[in-house]
Structure 1
Amino acid sequence: MTMFLTGTLAYPPLLEIVLGRVPVLVPAELPDHAVLAPAGGADTLTRLCKAQGESAAGVLVTDGGAQDLERLCYFTGWSESDFVPVDVPQVQESVHAPVSEESAEGQPRFDAETWAHAQGALACEIAREIMRGYGQRPAAMVRAIRPYLAARAWSRALADRETPCVLRSDRTRETAVRIVSDSSAHDGFFRMRQFSLQHERFDGAMSDVIQREGFVAYDAALVLPYDPERDLVLLIEQMRYGPILREDRHPWILEPVAGLVDAGESPEDCARREAVEEAGLHLGSLEPMMRVYASPGYTSEFFHCFLGLCDLGEHGGGLGGLDSENEDIRSHVLPFEDAMALVESGEVNAGPLAMMLLWLARQRERLRAAA
């Protein structure tokens, strides 16, 4: 079956990942149709719609087969029935394309060059994350956790940023680590990787092959709201699964505001979004704290930590969280000294919150003087 693909699916690097091969592509135009711009971020698909007098640019996959269609449906969430016959003037044989019934009127059109420059690389990384599960992870699961798969890909993109190497070794993963084998023991919301590797030792020799398991998680933004004029902080409280698994008698934990960084979202924007969702709080300026691994011995989870300056004078705490994410959150507003007393007593037993309060203890005088 010859397929006509447009928009993000016509981007050759992405299409090769989705199909698992290098297809034969022929540029083509479909009259009286338009390609609508993605409605969201890098993981949002474009839509091909009818539009009188316009022409939709795309590509013909001339060597397509049943597996190509199956892989496309797996990636997009479409069904085979979404591919309908269309008339592409330059070819005589039957051509099928995924045409949406959505109206194109008043909707922005897709700009292929702009999109490829701004989001093409991330879209390809997301496609790799999704297609890794082809043949193993059911398509229904992909649809359910797709935003999280995209966030996992974004985490790898964020990890590509430079960080200082003054005291520690400046050797890199590419030059000093060799992955021997890599497989998934579990791949759902979280991914458990079983892998073996060799790495360059401090004496210059290569290590033996080491077998390990690792927990693939996400980047998260954490923010501690602080009112420097009144010397107040806001903490949130919620039931957490880690303490339940440890069989802690008190699984309700005090924490900073926090949430997973969505694909394409900056950690700063995530911090502001989570403050609204969890505490109903609109932050002023953000002070960067630290960027740290949660537990680098076994998980990829990474924290972007901020102090959020705000007015807590009229904020007496309360309930928050998103029903769609089953969040049940209570916020507490209290003097900084009282929060530090909770660190000393052990009632604050979440490492990130203790770390962020100790950071604030060092910067508090400066912040209060500037308030």
Structure 2
Amino acid sequence: MLQLGVVTVVAGSQQEGEDTLHPLLQRSAGTALRAHRGLASIRDRARETGYELPGFDVDPDLQSFCEWGNADFVSDVETATEQVHSRTTTLAGKLAALGPEAGVARFNELIEQASLVGEGADHLTAVRTGELMTDPAAWYHAASASECRMLQGAAPTQWLTLAPDAIPTAVLQAALKNTRSRPAAISAVLARSVVDRAGETVIASLRAEDVPWLDRLFCHDADDVMHRLLVHKDPAVAASTAVSFAVGTPPGPALPKDWRAAWSSAFEGLLVDRLTSHNQWRAGHVLAYVAEHDADTFERLFGRQLQDMAAQGWYSSPLPPNSEDLLALPPRPHRLRLAIQ
């Protein structure tokens, strides 16, 4: 006997299955897939004892949509992950080929059937479908009309990629308020080199919580986007940008001479605990370089943080982990002034 939610399937012959719950379960793609999965674990054992459990016709699209819940990440995580991404990409191609209206309707149908399987909506399928949209505006409106939140969040990202000047501000702001679509919208803007209306809207919305999405700015060129981030009003955003330049650390864009003042101001606002682990590592190398070659900036950064900590009544090292030896690098007068503080 196998319990499937509120339904009990009795292990028996094929004929017994057809006479009992098999037709009922097969009527819905979701219950059929759920029964198929549930029986899979005992099928061989039942066969050994003389029982042939009933089979089910499974919707391959639904199976791909629910692939995360069935993949074997224990035995071979690499193969399982590759399989999930491959099937998801194939399904996304099918959905995109249907066009906005039919594609959204099919996506909603898969969500409904996935709930019967016991799984939620597949975010990865929505993302992959969004990447294949040739008319993201039409997809956005179709998704909005049917309240398909997943595709409604995915469409603006592709819209930003294909026609950033055409995306309405209200649509972009809605994407930024959605925790699922916000990272993709940010990444779409950071992948560009110019700051237009859409880019300004996204960049202006950045806050300390978005710092993880700035982790690969060292791959950027010294363009308009980097400059806008460097002078950002949020210190965590500006500092994350500052440590992404090739100052003391080879990988990264060269810092233009006329950006030096803006860079120093951003770097002096550095708070190590707001950086990602990768940027903390970069900050250590930048601090070592600055301590030896721009001791005034190093002193201002360290002195400002000491004052802030004194005002707060608690102390934590303003340096990255295991880098206290950096304090020995500035010239002696700078070290003395910091020691007095």
Using structure 1 for the length normalisation, give the TM-score.
Answer: 0.26
More strand by share: 1
| Structure number, greater radius of gyration | 2
More helix by share: 2
More relative contact order in 1 or in 2 (CA 8 Å, sep 6+)? 1
Using structure 2 for the length normalisation, give the TM-score.
Answer: 0.27
